[in-house]
């Protein structure tokens, strides 16, 4: 993934793409920050799974910001945030639809033998291990809670 992002930065620079380039550089900076944090903790550089987590976090931040801008009467800033989300999503795997989330949640519940809301942590751990970057875990959490409740 690092190579793909680096290649996209080069392409954006060559094309003088002022829309994509700042977002691509933010992605690189976030990855570099994770690498530095990992180095301090004695871990390896950020893996592809780590990069997917970084991207998911960045998307979530921008979605919250866009909503706040819309609520605050600043639609032009919300549009900018949504454009950044589009760039970030280019590097994420396809997002699961609601039916897919429910199906994998049911499978994870069966796999862990979860019987009540107390077991929700186990189920979410399985989902995060298998489907990082492919679903919104806040929505998945609500689905799991509904299935266990």
Strand blocks (E) in 46-137: none
Architecture of domain 98-148: Orthogonal Bundle (1.10)
Provide the CATH number for the domain formed by 2-89 in this structure. Answer: 1.10.1510.10
C-alpha–C-alpha distance, residues 89 and 97, integer Å:
15
Residue extents of the structural domains in the chain = 2-89, 98-148
In the chain, count of helices (H) and strands (E)?
Answer: 7, 0
End-to-end CA distance of the chain: 38
Distance between CA atoms of residues 140 and 148, nearest Å: 12
Q: Which range, 10-14, 95-99, 106-110, 145-149, has the best average confidence (pLDDT)?
A: 10-14
* Per-residue pLDDT reduced to its tens digit, 5-63: 999 999 999 999 999 999 999 999 999 999 999 888 888 888 888 898 899 899 999 99
Are residues 139 and 101 in contact, defined by beta-carbon separation less than 8 angstroms? Answer: yes
pTM: 0.73
């Amino acid at each position: 993934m690092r190579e793909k992002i680096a290649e996209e930065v080069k392409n954006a620079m060559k094309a003088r793409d002022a829309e994509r380039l700042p977002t691509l550089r933010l992605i690189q900076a976030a990855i570099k920050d994770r690498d530095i944090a990992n180095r301090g903790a004695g871990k390896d550089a950020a893996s592809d799974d780590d990069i997917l987590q970084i991207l998911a976090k960045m998307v979530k931040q921008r979605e919250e910001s866009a909503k706040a801008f819309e609520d605050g009467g600043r639609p032009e800033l919300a549009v900018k945030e949504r454009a950044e989300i589009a760039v970030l999503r280019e590097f994420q795997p396809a997002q699961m639809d609601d039916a897919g989330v429910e199906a994998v949640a049911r499978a994870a519940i069966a796999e862990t033998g979860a019987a009540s809301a107390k077991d929700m942590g186990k189920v979410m751990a399985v989902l995060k291990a298998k489907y990082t970057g492919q679903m919104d875990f806040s929505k998945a959490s609500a689905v799991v809670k509904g299935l266990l409740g």
